A and B are shown apart, each in its own frame.
Chain A
Amino acid sequence: MQRYLVSRLIQSIAILFGVLVLVFFMVRVTGDPATIMMPREASPESIEAFRHKMGFDRPVIVQFWDFLTHAVVGDFGNSLHFKIPALPLILERLPATVQLAAGGMLLALVVAIPLGLVGGSTPGSVWDGIGRLIGLLGQSIPNFWLALVLIFFFAVRLRLLPSFGRDELRSMILPCFVLGLPTMGSLVRLTRSAVLEIRGEDYVRTAYSKGLRPNLIYVRHILRNAAIPLVSVIGVQFGYMLGGSIYIETIFSWPGMGQMIEQAIGWRDYPLVQAIAFLTSVIVVVLNLFTDMAYALIDPRIRYGR
């Protein structure tokens, strides 16, 4: 178990190093980072001055070393738009994004797990039908479009819910629903198929044949085993929500990191974009690491193996 965790930790650090390399070279992929970051109408002289100021005229390897040593301690340079360090700007936006993702995840869990459990136990029933429909819709509805449709009906027509901002609890409802729906769909599908599969296992049949009460079998054998794949997917999906809320934050004017990256791209503020991309990756990678640790804790095959 310890060896497994240590190897996962080393792997995570390697991945984050890879992300730094990627983020560094992405703004250089067209050959000249200065023209990407300067306004389109900038004069050649001002671009030249900017290039020198940012140090883009130094050898790439020197720039990379500089970038690396600063990034490791959380220094991504100043945001070009705000003229202050990028990191505190992002940290200021982080709570809003986490709040949105947490709300979306909560909504997804509350709806998906019961539906999946019922659907898996009674395939073909009405509840199973509803669960499968949610599974399909969550997979197919474009969330940026769903957001517009919901705004149109609930904010413009019915005037029930606010269409933007983060002022009150009610303003969380629409964005959380839109962000949570794809996860809801995949969790319903996963829970359903896990229950269906486990119901047919030998140990469940044995439990029945030795006369164990059905309720007890459900809790002790089916639920416990269905929880194993769920834990890993929930962790991964949460990371996906944190990095995938760009459309939703943009449409609902939700003041999180997703909205900021969209704005930063509009301002050509690439140091800020780089910082957001790296920080989000750190969060996602750490989340995946924790998920794997939780997975190892609840699954004896990993706990005792390796």
Chain B
Amino acid sequence: MGDRPVTNTPASANQISVSGTGLRVDEARRGWRHQLVYIGRLLWRDKSGVIGLVLFLTLVFSAVFAPWISPHDPLSQHLSESKLPPAWTEGGDWKYPLGTDNLGRDLLSRIIYGSRVSLTVGLVGVVIACGLGMLIGLVSGYAGGRVDAAISGFVNLILALPYLLFVVFIASILGRSLINVIMIFGITDSPIFARTTRGEVLRLREAGYVESAMAIGAGGWKILFDHILPNLIGPLITVATFTMSAMIFYEAGLGFLGLSVPPSVPSWGNMLSSGRKYLTTAPWIAGFPGLAIMFASLGMNLLGDWLRDVLDPRLRRVKK
């Protein structure tokens, strides 16, 4: 890639479209701005990818601008207006669009603020898991031999465990706090990144261009930064998207069991947990936060599916 002009290719070859996308090869080869345009067009062609991106951006928007867009204070209680149904149903009030919970707190505002917990856990958790996993994977893939065998054994150990059970176990011991939840997911999800990194490193080390680079005397660091790391970005971003979706999902699950952030913090899991008691009388209290979790998770999954197709050129052709 990069800006290097393709001189020795016949003009006709440049006109061949990247199959399935209708885009010309030469468009894909120009600078980063063209790359962005190219990626944008690929995205537009995959409508489910667009939906995923919109859902994800909504999540980010509501987390960042929560104080400005939420109609009420998520913590202020109005006991006289408790368990109000959504505005469009009988007995509802547009003052509280999605209704209120058992303490008369505005559900919409709590959901908007709850996105902050989900996004923080997802983003920071993924950054920790990815950083840690990448480091472990690089060491394992580079060192080979006994070091690799020991690290891979440990990674397989973690991946073989009943994940949910151990997450619940450790969360119950460490206690309810945002930092604890982030650390738990950051550490328990790092083996996936380690395995992906190791696999890619082993594959890349055998690649012709790495061998050529070594043959002309490029140093280890140069090969790492010029060839290994850039090629790792694609697979790792894809894994990161799916992992983030899973973290948002499991954070809510921990909250549901009363093991995530403290009960005073508005989070989707905590809302579900308290709404569960009013399932028969006020089903919307548990209903809306559940929808929020579903759409966030759906968005990340769609985005991940799309990224996998776009970032892996080998798969681009398979797409209809």
Contact = CB atoms under 8 A, between A and B. Distances in A.
Contact of B164 (A142, A149, A243): A243
B235 interface: no
Given A15-B157, A30-B173, A243-B162, A145 B168 contact: no
A11 B294 contact: no
B252 interface: yes
A280 interface: yes
Interface of B: 153-154, 156-157, 160-166, 168-170, 172-174, 245, 249, 252-253, 256-257, 259, 272, 276, 279-280, 283, 286-287, 289-290, 293-294, 297-298, 301-302, 320
Nearest to A258: B165
Given A15-B157, A281-B161, A144 B280 contact: no
Given A18-B154, A156-B279, A265-B172, A284 B272 contact: no
13 contacts: A11-B156, A22-B161, A139-B297, A142-B290, A144-B272, A145-B294, A148-B286, A149-B290, A152-B283, A243-B162, A246-B165, A261-B169, A270-B173
Contact of A288 (B160, B163, B272): B160
Interface string A84-121: 00000000000000000000000000000000000000
A142 B163 CA distance: 16
A230 interface: no
A240 B272 contact: no
A214 interface: no
A234 interface: no
Nearest to B48: A136
B257 A142 contact: no
A281 B173 contact: no
Contact of A29 (B165, B173, B259, B279): B173
A276 interface: yes
A284 B161 contact: yes
A3 to B, nearest CB: 16
A101 to B, nearest CB: 12
A26 interface: yes
B297 A140 contact: yes
Cβ-closest 8 pairs across A and B: A243-B162, A145-B290, A140-B298, A18-B157, A265-B172, A140-B297, A244-B164, A142-B293
Given A19-B157, A142-B252, A276-B165, 19 more contacts: A14-B153, A15-B156, A15-B157, A18-B154, A22-B166, A30-B174, A140-B245, A142-B293, A142-B294, A144-B252, A148-B272, A148-B287, A149-B287, A240-B163, A243-B162, A243-B164, A246-B168, A251-B276, A261-B169
B278 to A, nearest CB: 11
Contact of B161 (A19, A124, A262, A276): A19
A239 B166 CA distance: 14
A139 B259 CA distance: 23
Interface string A239-253: 110111011001100
A36 interface: yes
Contacts of B173: 26-27, 29-30, 36, 270
Contacts of B290: 142, 145-146, 148-149
B102 to A, nearest CB: 15
Nearest to B252: A142
Interface of A is mostly: helix
A136 B170 CA distance: 30
A246 B168 CA distance: 9
B172 to A, nearest CB: 4
Nearest to A288: B160
Nearest to B304: A139
B283 to A, nearest CB: 5
Interface string A28-52: 0110000010000000000000000
Contact of A239 (B162, B169, B253): B162
Nearest to B298: A140
A136 B242 CA distance: 13
Nearest to A257: B165
Given A144-B253, A148-B286, A262-B257, A277 B169 contact: yes
Contact of B280 (A30, A141, A156, A280): A156
Contact of B294 (A29, A140, A152): A140
A26 B166 CA distance: 9
Interface string A249-285: 0110000000001100100001001001100110011
Interface in A132-183: 136, 139-142, 144-146, 148-149, 151-152, 156
Nearest to B153: A14
A55 interface: no
Contacts of B257: 246-247, 250, 262, 265
Contact of A265 (B168, B280, B298): B168
Contacts of B170: 26, 29
Contacts of A156: 279-280
A123 interface: yes
Nearest to A148: B286
Contacts of A36: 173
A149 B284 CA distance: 10
Interface centre among A27, A250, A265 (most CB of B within 10 A): A265
Contact of B162 (A140, A144, A280): A280
A284 B168 contact: no
Contacts of A276: 165
A280 to B, nearest CB: 5
A145 B290 CA distance: 6
Interface string A209-228: 00000000000000000000
B276 A26 contact: no
Contacts of B166: 22, 26, 277
